[in-house]
Amino acid sequence: MYHFFINQDQVEDDHIRIIGPDVNHIKNVLRMGAGEEVLISNGVDKDYLCEVTSVTSQEVTAKILTVEEGGRELPARITLFQGLPKGDKMELIIQKAVELGAYEIVPVETKRTVVKLDKKKEEAKLRRWNAVSESAAKQSKRLIVPEVTGVKSLKEALVFSKEFDVTVIPFENAKGMERTREILSQVKPGMNVGIFIGPEGGFEDSEIELSESFGAKTVTLGKRILRTETAGLSVLSVLSYLLEP
């Protein structure tokens, strides 16, 4: 079943109006017609199972069959602070993080970040990254489209996360897995959680010290060294397991 996102003002009584780029996709790519069922999310708190009633070049109208509230989101808000990786790795990280339930993704520039984005390049990247997030949200039937924010320095990201309930930073010199289990088991429904992941080469010791001064807790992910595109997803997977009802 195809999945689309709309704003709440597009919901009218017993039907929904789909407008914008999705109309062309529905009409000319998917070639959908009256009678076909679609899943529509308002990006906040409701999923609507709908039946398409009309398709024009300007608008798709769908009758609401059932409404589900808050069904597929993790009960905690998890923000992934991802050190900017090289190449197209960020797209993969965003795609998989959205599938695993991340609430938001924040690209972070650190001392070992190789990629440097000027304003123009950053704007183009953000458009692409948010499109990847939307596509992954549709595929995984998310209720929301997680935002990929503008690039922050490590200190800016730490200030942003300072009031979070739990913030973790995987570090190869952290204590054993028992400490990791203890810290991650503290995450409960309703919490705001931050995961800080370094770029290729990881964080410098001074950055770990800075993170700890803002309340971040170092954790180990095991005896093996994980790549930057694997580490955050590993933590997200564990938290998803712990939080899913």
Tens-digit pLDDT profile for residues 187-224: 999 899 999 999 998 899 999 999 999 999 999 998 88
Q: Where are the domains of the chain?
A: 2-69, 77-243
Residue 71 pLDDT level (bands cut at 50, 70, 90): low
Confidence label for 104 from pLDDT (cuts 50, 70 and 90) = very high
For residues 50 and 2, is the Cβ–Cβ distance under 8 A?
A: no
pTM recorded for the entire structure: 0.80
Q: Where are the alpha helices (DSSP H) in the chain?
A: 21-24, 89-99, 119-139, 154-161, 177-184, 205-213, 228-243
Percentage of the chain exceeding pLDDT 90? 56
Give the whole-angstrom CA distance, residue 105 versus residue 94: 7
The average confidence (pLDDT) of the chain is 90
77-243 belongs to which CATH class?
alpha beta
The amino acid occupying position 115 is: V
Tokens of 6: 């709309």
The CATH number of the structural domain formed by 2-69 is 2.40.240.20
Distance CA 245, CA 242 (A): 8
When pLDDT is averaged across residues 97-111 and rounded to a whole number, the result is 95
Q: Which residue has the tokens 């407008």?
A: 19
